[in-house]
Amino acid sequence: MTPTLDEMVRHTFAPAQGRLTPQAPLGARTWFRVGGNAEWLYQPADAQDLATIMQRLPPELPVTTLGACSNVIIRDGGIDGLVIRLARGFAAIEVEQDALVVGSACLDATVAEQAAAAGLGGLEFLSGIPGSIGGAVRMNAGAYGCDIASVLDWAEIITRDGTLLRLDNAALRFGYRRSGLPEGATVTRARLRATPANPADITARIAEIRTSRESTQPVRARTGGSTFRNPDPAISSRKAWELVDAAGCRGLIVGGAQVSEKHCNFLLNLGDATAADLEGLGEEVRTRVAQHCGVSLQWEIKRLGKTKASGQ
């Protein structure tokens, strides 16, 4: 008799050290606080544990890796297959003379704070980026004039077949809000270059960035990162938020979701939004911007999973 997918998964995870949970709710783990369940959620103990499991996974099993979930909308129907969530076993920070080697689950802001405490400058921009290092590497996150590509020496990854690799900066082929990570790869840690500096000066710069962010972005709301990428300057000289504003979308509401009035490249969950509300609002904004400005905005927030079937 052919084993069921459920039986295959349980056999695959027999040697696992981490935690495997079927039908695990994901909404509460996201910054938007929306979304359905993971068919299977795995929280690996460490990189070796993850590599072992990836080597054993059936090739037909879909795999999705999540970090801090600051820049994702998980759709209401949840995510099929295996969802990998990196946590405690990927949160170590090692201080070197001119760098920090950081686990992919480390929050960007925590890395900036640790660098400041060690008297290492150049990573202050991370204090203005929501999310974790793994996601920052994957999307070449940036803010306040810097991005990951400008400070990263190497990143260690585990490929879909369980191979552990170290890729240098050039191999990652960074571009604006993107990297060339292999399909299905999971970042486990990275080395970020820094420069010795006065800790007080570094701390002051972090405070300046945080003040600026709190004054211009809805950081205390149920929101995510920037919704849309800034367009290529060859297409438009205006930033995404300016295009959204020009199209009259500031404050626009769909269901329980709203375009932030404080910064209109952010979407808000007003309290009872569904993932469908948020994604529908984003698509309505894209339509209005295209009609008004002739620019096709591209999503920066990732939308994952499946929509909820009608009547469920």
Q: Which residues carry out catalysis?
A: 177, 226, 300
Pairing of strands 302-304, 72-74: parallel
Return d(Cα 302, Cα 267) in angstroms, integer: 13
Which residues pair with residue 259 across a beta bridge?
267
DSSP label at 256?
Answer: T
3-class DSSP assignment, residue 61: coil
Contacts 24+ apart (CB under 8 A), 64-67: 64/38, 64/304, 65/134, 65/186, 66/26, 66/29, 67/104, 67/105, 67/131, 67/132, 67/133, 67/134, 67/135
| Helix %, strand %, coil % of the chain (to 5) | 30, 25, 45
